């Protein structure tokens, strides 16, 4: 019955298939073919126009996903990469032109941004776990939900500081120092050291070889447990039965700076982070040891996702910048860049101390930098990419 309605003929019936119904079927097929061709043509134009618009504002959005397959032909990959490179060069040119203008803080924009951060994240109260915000008996949920919940026993509770050591806008001028190769040969060390408070990421080298560019002053430095296990595994640090001193001596380069670890990102981080605390206690160190509050980091992740930074996790640098914006009246960034070339088109190393690339797809560094540049133009923070005078 269905075949008759659609104009099909049963080959076994022996009936003539050339009739009115067949002509009607041919007409419908022709109409469908024309419609399909139009959709294909408009579809191509739609893809082109959509990519053009998105590439102006987000030139690296989904590039990694598209380049690695998902049904896109090789010709599309090539045009995608070429277009992205063109837009990046446009960004560099605009950034160079912007450097002619002297940066000035916009008090109103900065205040509004701080209020947004205060509502969502509240670093002065929840940046770290403390005895006040995480009492004994609390069931602390890990940042990665699949890791479950950690009951805060008395032993864990006693590792926490009594309260947050920082308050809102406590410091006038802060420097957040990233590890990007963009900071090499900038001679920004003195300017960085003149800040009231200096943040650093993942215990980078600050010895005489690099201090002219990056300075030495450090008030707070993050330690990613993966850095410890990878960089110091040859010393047996992961087991802690022996060879703990090499890591302790590395921390001595940062004098009396406090250290902060993401102990509650997952269970593996907890174990290594607690070992750092025990090690410093064993050496009678007076250095402050803090653990990021997992709920604070989740709130930071959600806040920046709304701004277009969608990644498995925000970088340590972005975490510190977010905290600095609440803790400091004026925030200056050094060593933050996400491209293999500086704004002048000269190739640079990934870090100022090596050229080891990050794990692909984990952070969204270009989007973080785009946000920083946008905030620079709005007078919220000052991004330094050139030489310091």
Active site residues: 363
149-151 vs 258-261, strand pairing mode:
unpaired
Task: For residue 135, give the nearest of 120, 153, 110 by alpha carbon.
Answer: 153
Q: What is the helix (H) or strand (E) element at residue 101, kind and residue range? A: none
The rounded distance, in Å, linking the Cα atoms of 5 and 2 is 5
Contact 220, 366 (CB under 8 A): no
Residues in CB range of 29: below 8 A, 6 or more apart: none
The rounded distance, in Å, linking the Cα atoms of 142 and 148 is 6
Tell me if residue 156 falls in helix, strand or coil: helix
Degrees to nearest 5, angle at CA 308 with 175 and 129: 55
The rounded distance, in Å, linking the Cα atoms of 135 and 144 is 21
Q: What's the token pair of residue 84?
A: 């992205």
The rounded distance, in Å, linking the Cα atoms of 48 and 83 is 11
Long-range CB contacts for residues 273-281, cutoff 8 Å, separation at least 24: 273/223, 273/225, 274/156, 274/159, 275/240, 276/223, 276/228, 277/159, 278/240, 279/240, 279/244, 279/247, 279/248, 280/248, 280/251
């Amino acid at each position: 019955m269905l075949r008759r309605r659609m104009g099909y003929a049963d080959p076994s019936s022996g009936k003539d298939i050339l009739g009115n119904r067949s002509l009607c079927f041919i007409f419908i097929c022709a109409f469908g073919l024309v419609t399909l061709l139009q959709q294909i043509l408009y579809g191509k134009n739609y893809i082109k126009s959509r990519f053009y618009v998105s590439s102006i504002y987000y030139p690296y959005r989904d590039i990694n996903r598209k380049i690695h397959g998902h049904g896109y032909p090789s010709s599309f990959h090539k045009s995608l990469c070429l277009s992205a490179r063109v837009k990046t060069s446009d960004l560099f040119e605009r950034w160079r032109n912007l450097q002619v203008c002297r940066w000035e803080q916009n008090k109103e924009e900065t205040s509004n941004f701080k209020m947004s951060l205060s509502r969502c994240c509240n670093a002065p109260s929840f940046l770290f776990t403390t005895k006040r915000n995480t009492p004994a008996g609390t069931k602390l949920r890990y940042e990665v939900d699949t890791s479950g919940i950690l009951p805060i026993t008395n032993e864990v509770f006693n590792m926490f500081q009594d309260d947050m050591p920082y308050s809102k806008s406590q410091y006038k001028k802060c420097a957040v120092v990233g590890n990007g190769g963009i900071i090499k040969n900038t001679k920004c060390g003195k300017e960085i050291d003149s800040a009231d408070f200096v943040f650093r990421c993942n215990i980078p080298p600050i010895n005489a070889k690099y201090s002219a560019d990056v300075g030495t002053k450090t008030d707070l430095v993050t330690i990613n447990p993966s850095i410890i296990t990878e960089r110091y595994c040859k010393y047996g640090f992961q087991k802690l039965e022996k060879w703990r001193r090499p890591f302790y001596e590395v921390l001595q380069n940062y004098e009396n700076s406090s250290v902060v670890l993401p102990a509650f990102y997952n269970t593996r981080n907890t174990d290594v982070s607690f070992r750092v605390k025990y090690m410093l206690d064993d050496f009678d160190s007076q250095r402050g040891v803090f653990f990021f509050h997992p709920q604070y980091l989740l709130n930071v992740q959600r806040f920046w996702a709304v701004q277009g930074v969608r990644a498995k996790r925000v970088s340590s640098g972005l975490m510190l910048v977010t905290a600095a914006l609440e803790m400091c009246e004026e925030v200056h960034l050094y060593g933050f860049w996400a491209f293999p070339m500086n704004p002048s088109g000269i190739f640079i190393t990934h870090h100022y101390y090596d050229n080891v690339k990050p794990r692909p797809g984990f952070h969204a560094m270009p989007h973080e930098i785009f946000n920083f540049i946008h905030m620079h133009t709005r007078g919220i923070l000052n991004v330094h990419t050139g030489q310091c005078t």
